[in-house]
Chain A
Amino acid sequence: MSDTATSDYDLDEEFAVKRTPIQRLQMTLHRYPWLSSLIVLVVVVLVFGLVNERFLLPSTISLMIQQTVIVGTLAIAQTLIILTAGIDLSIGAIMIFGQMLMANFAVYTTASNVLPIAGQNPWISIFLGICAATAAGAANGFLIVKFNLPPFIVTLGTWSVFMGMTLILFKARTIQGPEMPEQMKLMGESFPVGPFNFSLGVVTMFLLYLLFAWILKNTAWGTHVYAVGDDPVAAQLTGISTKRVLFSVYLVAGVVMGIAAYITIGRVGSASPNVDPMLNLQTITAVVIGGTSLFGGRGAVIGSLLGALIVNAVEMGLSLAGVDQAYRTTAIGLLVILAVGVDQWIRKVKA
């Protein structure tokens, strides 16, 4: 371009525009989508800490983190999917399916066991459980990519399918902790870290968060996940195979759900098909409060950990303050709406 000097001048002018503090805050939050949830978490912890000093006890904080581990791990899978502008309602059902499969395979004994080929090595059982969850995730991906069906509908269907299959195959029977070999409950083993108490499951969850934060930031696949969620047509036109990216996201999410299944057995101490029917909505709550946009392409996996922790901190804080369960549920609901409102406001940022 011939008028280089002119265009540079224009830009300088544009960037020298004075912004109000509010606008600057909006810009910063826009740049770091997890920042608002970090601020909320700090405020929540401080407020409840002032209200009730038991809230800040290391044992309370340890318990809070332990309680986050199932939703927190599943939220990684949900974040990946929501980043592509999808959603996974079957996430809890797949996790329970994987969990029941690994537990049933690992049980050596007795008439209560419904699988004729059960009694496998626990490590093989765990591996099979993770494979089953991966296959389930891949099945979601296949239906969404191959037949161009909306993720909401596909996973609404597979939610029931996997729940039904769990009941058909494993007869709705809870495998009690003592029935299972110790390796199955390994993720529940805890150890002290300073004044805190962490379980192996918590450590695994943290490692998974670090791993996926790194992958999303530092690999082409990560960039493509954002690009596909942001504008699938544009991504396709730049030569990205959007179908491959989408399918791989559901597959990888399945792997994470499988690992979450193993963590859940450790955390709960048994394998039950009735863990929590609301797990899918809880993970979506965590992701949304964590600043990831339901419209795709925006957000960070680390925000979902913060989101899950916020939900737990609010629950814990209110219950320590003696607030009734019904009010706590209401509070979480309002928090979700607030989070989406803030997300909309942040997205309106202007150059």
Chain B
Amino acid sequence: MTEPIVKGRNLVKRFGSVTGLNHADFDLYQGEVLAVIGDNGAGKSTLIKCFAGAHTPDEGEMWVQGEKVEFKSTHEAREHGVETVFQTLAVAPALDISANLYLGRELRKPGFFGKVFRQLDKKRMRKESGEHLQDLGIMTVQNISQAVETLSGGQRQAVSVARAAAFGSQVIILDEPTAALGVRESAKVLSLIQDLKSRGLSVILISHNMPQVFEVADRIHVQRLGHRAAVITPQTHSMNDAVAIMTGALQVPENEQTLSPVGSAA
């Protein structure tokens, strides 16, 4: 069995008296789209925030690409190739697209001006942001110095996804990427996810939208009461089954789950 690219075991996270994660396990394999679903309060967001570096679990262990990790900030997660598109998108609306793409990892000019005066290389950042966005087929280059607040919801989402995909990351976490979008824009984001997958990236998708999940996911991690209730695939189970597992009406024995990557022997 291949080793997962992201692995979590026995993760526990408490917020005061509330338990967000209750001994949760997690596996993501190279090149797959793993959907994480669950009822409100099941710990979906808490779970992925641990891997994103936004939360530090109280107990349990995490591995990324076989290396044991303890993330104290999103910055550390990024350094291990894990990028996250948060539900709030984490963009600065008044800044332009290229400033947002490079937020927190700005490029400095080479030579004297960059070293001594710490001058930014805006030209290169604009040029490369344009390329990144074009790679994903999102935007024409002339708009790159537009403030993000003048973009539509779908375009902002695209900027966030481009930021996550642009910097040689291995794993991209998308938290409810279509929650605030219309039908047409949702479709674009879904095709963006397919595109990320076709480039060999591994994607974690959190969503409430069952049809979307069943459309793009290779495997589906069902979170319930703070732990992993089951891992299924769109082929082995129906949407009704998924809902039943989420609510506790259906228990799936381990031999009927899909705990290893789709396509390999279980």
Residue numbers of A with Cβ under 8 A of B are 1-4, 7-8, 11-12, 14-15, 30-31, 218-221, 223-224, 226-227, 230-231, 233-240, 297-298, 349-351
Contacts and interface: CB of A to CB of B under 8 A. Distances in A.
A236 B90 CA distance: 8
B159 to A, nearest CB: 12
A239 B194 CA distance: 27
A221 B74 CA distance: 19
Interface in B197-253: none
Given A7-B188, A230-B92, 14 more contacts: A1-B192, A2-B191, A2-B195, A4-B137, A218-B120, A220-B106, A223-B95, A227-B95, A234-B91, A235-B104, A239-B75, A239-B104, A351-B150, A351-B151
A234 B87 CA distance: 10
Contacts of A220: 106, 108, 118, 120
Contact of A11 (B93, B95, B143, B147): B143
29 contacts: A1-B188, A2-B191, A7-B138, A7-B139, A8-B140, A15-B143, A218-B117, A218-B120, A218-B122, A219-B117, A220-B118, A220-B120, A221-B118, A223-B99, A227-B92, A230-B92, A230-B95, A234-B88, A234-B90, A234-B92, A235-B92, A237-B88, A238-B74, A238-B90, A238-B103, A239-B78, A297-B93, A297-B94, A351-B152
Contact of A1 (B118, B136, B152): B136
Contacts of A223: 95, 99, 103, 106, 120
A3 B92 contact: no
Contacts of A297: 92-94
B103 A227 contact: yes
B108 A239 contact: no
Contacts of B143: 11, 15
Given A220-B106, A237-B90, A3 B191 contact: yes
The interface centre, meaning the residue of A30, A219, A223 with most chain B CB atoms within 10 A of its CB, is: A223
Contacts of A237: 54, 74, 84, 86, 88, 90
A233 B94 contact: no
B89 interface: yes
Contacts of B91: 231, 234
Nearest to A219: B118
Nearest to A350: B150
A235 B89 CA distance: 11
Contacts of B108: 220
Interface of B: 54, 73-75, 78, 84, 86, 88-95, 99, 103-106, 108, 117-120, 122, 136-140, 143, 147, 149-152, 188, 191-192, 194-195
A236 to B, nearest CB: 8
Given A220-B106, A223-B103, A349-B150, A231 B120 contact: no
A291 to B, nearest CB: 13
Given A1-B195, A220-B120, A231 B92 contact: yes
A11 B139 contact: yes
A30 B90 CA distance: 22
Contacts of B75: 239
A40 B30 CA distance: 59
Nearest to A218: B119
Nearest to B146: A351
A30 B143 CA distance: 16
B53 to A, nearest CB: 8
